[in-house]
Structure 1
Amino acid sequence: MRSGAARGHVGYFHEVAFCGGDEDYRRVVVPFVDEGVAACEPVVVACRPANERLVREAIADPRGVVFLPGAGQYDRPTEAIVAYRKLFAGYAGAPQVRVVGDVPHPGVGASWDWWSRYEAAVNQVFDEFPVWGLCPYDLRVTPARVLADVVRTHPRVAGADGSHLPNPRYRSTWALPSAGPTAFEAGRPVVELTDPTPAEARRAVAGACAGVPLSRDEVDDIVYAASEAVTNAQAHGVPPVRLRAWAGPSRVLVAVTDRGEGPTSPTAGLVPTDRTATAGVGLWLTHRTCRDVTMTRDPEGYTIRITTGR
């Protein structure tokens, strides 16, 4: 029998908490941890060091808690999903696993697009496990656009007053965010192709990397990613397919645009799939190897942006 607010719930119980400071954080997290330990449930705390200290200093019995580095230890959400699924599978037979974790965002120096999709995707990806996940967000450092996404992706809200309530602003459906070009794209692209073959895309992007101080692996990764993006656009998008690349002193950005709608699930690229003969695993590998991957819609259609370098 699951304890606490998740009693009777089947699958992943996903809560968010909005904390105005350290005291709010303790009021939300400490009872969550202590009640789990008292119920003999596995309890995992995966937070940044400052937040871990807040928890360690206030909980009744730290010996009943597994402390792990926060999701920020993972450069990419694909890695976090693989690691957490392995962790949860290791607790097979437990009536409930409690996890409190910090999710990276621009307020702590991380890109947000794919972590935003992560927060939506885990509602499906973790739903086979009896996990109660609590995601505290610090209002002092979390940007407004992040909070807007967070509100839409968490079915439940935990309050500093001890409340655990359904979230009326949660949306079970998901759509690609709307966004235009980045500041890096303001200049003229070094590559611009229309309806390239995957081989043409590979050659062009390899050329764009010339002169940029990238490792061999970084070049290989973005060349492969560009080829996969073009293949995916040709198979699932609406022509024309447009590939552009920009090169800076230490990084390369590739954007592939088609007139289609783009992915309809937040899991696209975050978990491998064999439901499609093209790009199912390739898009996942792109997310696992490149420094940053964003997927957006704008008046031109669907664009995937892939970045490598620093």
Structure 2
Amino acid sequence: MTGFYHETALYGSDDDFLAIAVPFVEGGLREGQPTLVACADKNTSLLRAAVGDDDAVTYLPGADQYARPADAIAGYRDIFGKLANAGATRIRTIGDVPHPGVGVRWDWWGRYENAVNQAFAEFPLWGLCPYDTRITPPEVLADVARTHEYLATASGEHLPNPDFGTGLPLSSPVPDTLEQGAPRVSLVDPTPAAVREAVSAAITGTTLTEDSAHDIVYAASEIVTNGLSHGVAPVRFRLWADDSRVVVTVSDQGSGPSDPLAGLMPTTATRSAGLGLWILHRTCDYVSMGREEDGFTVRVSVGGHT
């Protein structure tokens, strides 16, 4: 097997989950394939009880244990790369992806589901992403359909997904609750230096750690630089803050990056600003990128709870 076989399964009961997941895991063990489980606690417990303590199954931290999608991609690429280099001709992994049904913002995890079609393409990987329809919002399920090429069913079928497409998921980023108030800073077509100065002044008196303060200043400067260099004027910068958290948005009238990997994997193509986006995806507590009323908007936040 070569390439990434990216499959989803929609289930509405624990029995249906097991009807899909257990044959997947047991098939990997029977074929002598590295078989990895990266589910959240509940599904991990269900699988452990059904499969038993087979040492051939490797239980990994689920994607929900990674703070950021870019961290998850980096971590999983390292694991898959080591297995492939050791001679694995097929790797199986089943893993849950966070979403609002488990209390996690979706849009950057939706971008993750789209990006891994490229990020994992070099590995002989069969990845199964199950979604519980009892708790998964409809807009998430719509994005799941667009980002997975194959469908698994509780009856044992593995089918091409007619809804699979290319491009970014269509769900729009959701504004932060802090944005309901007036921004502390609002600038149009500012220089990166002016933004760094304004952000440093605006966060004085907050309880941000030194690292978080550095991260938000860097992120604000980077996304303004991107907007000025690659977007379409006007570039509008805004900042909101409370005692412990800061939210920044930068909007322009362009279409944004076309590469679904933008920000989720490192790149040496620094002229495309990809490296800077990746750094802020690895340091900020939340990053969203997408079309909104004000145009293409990048939103980042640090501190507190997102």
TM-score computed with the length of structure 2 as normaliser: 0.95
Q: 1:86 aligns with which of 78, 83, 94?
A: 78
Letter of the structure 2 residue corresponding to residue 189 of structure 1: P
Q: Distance in 2 between matches of 1:178 and 1:68?
A: 30
One-letter amino acid of the structure 2 residue matched with residue 137 of structure 1: Y
Q: Corresponding residue for 2:124?
A: 130
Residue identity matched to 2:108? W
Asked whether the equivalents of residues 19 and 136 of structure 1 are also in contact (C-alpha less than 8 Å), the reply is yes
List per-residue Cα deviations over 1:47-70 (Å, max 9, x = no partner): 112111111111266221001121
CA separation of 1:278/1:227 partners in 2, compared to 1, >3 Å: closer, same or farther? farther
User: Aligned-pair distance for 1:129?
Assistant: 0.3
Q: Which moved more, 1:176-185 or 1:32-41?
A: 176-185
Match of 2:63 in 1: 71
* Corresponding residue SS for 2:46: helix
Map 1:201-280; keep pairs closer than 5 Å.
201-280=195-274
Give 1:177 deviation, angstroms: 4.4
Go from structure 1 to structure 2 and tell me whether the alpha carbon gap of 1:178 and 1:110 turns closer, same or farther (over 3 Å shift).
closer
Give distance in 2, aligned partners of 1:143 and 1:26.
21
Query: The residue matched to 1:221 in structure 2 has which SS?
Result: helix
Aligned residues: 302
1:154 corresponds to? 148
**Cα contact 2:223–2:250 (8 A) shared by 1:** yes
Q: Which moved more, 1:101-110 or 1:118-127?
A: 101-110
* Alignment-derived partner of residue 5 in structure 1: none
On the 8 A contact 2:139/2:171 being kept in 1, the answer is no
* Aligned match for 2:38, one of 35, 46, 50: 46
In structure 2, distance between residues paired with 1:309 and 1:181: 16
Aligned residue for 1:26, secondary structure, equals helix
Q: Secondary structure in 1 aligned to 2:195? A: helix
User: What does residue 14 of structure 2 align with?
Assistant: 22
Change (3 A) 1:45 1:168: same
Distance 1:289 1:53, change over 3 A: same
For residues 82 and 34 of structure 1, do their structure 2 counterparts lie closer, same or farther at Cα, with a shift above 3 Å needed?
Answer: same
SS of residue matched to 1:90? helix
TM-align CA RMSD = 1.5
2:27 aligns with 35
Displacement after TM superposition at 1:278 (Å) = 4.8
Q: 1:47 to 1:178 in 2, by over 3 A?
A: closer
Give the whole-Å Cα distance in 2 for the aligned partners of 1:137 and 1:230.
Answer: 36
Verify the 8 A CA contact 2:36 2:59 in the aligned structure 1: yes
Q: Partners of 2:180 and 2:103 in 1: how far apart?
A: 23
Equivalent position amino acid for 1:306 in 2: V
For the residue of structure 2 that corresponds to 1:277, the secondary structure is helix
The one-letter code matched in structure 2 to 1:78 is A
Q: Distance in 2 between matches of 1:101 and 1:228?
A: 33
What are structure 1's unaligned runs of at least 5 residues? 3-9
Stretches of structure 2 that go unaligned for 5 or more consecutive residues are none
Letter matched to residue 289 of structure 2 = M
| Aligned CA distance change for structure 1 residues 246 and 224 (closer, same or farther; 3 Å) | same
Please give the secondary structure, in 2, of the residue aligned with 1:297.
strand
Q: Deviations over 1:212-265 (max 9, x none)?
A: 211111110010000000111111001111100011232110000111111112
Measured against aligned partners, the alpha-carbon deviations of 1:196-221 in whole angstroms (never above 9, x if no partner) come to 11111111111221222111111100
Q: Specify the SS of the correspondent of 1:63.
A: coil
SS in 1 for 2:16: helix
- State whether residues 34 and 61 of structure 1, in contact with CA within 8 Å, keep that contact through their aligned partners in structure 2: no
Q: 1:265 to 1:65 in 2, by over 3 A?
A: same
Instruction: Find the aligned partners of 1:175 and 1:142 in 2 and give their Cα distance.
Output: 16
Residues 237, 249 of structure 2: 8 Å contact kept: yes
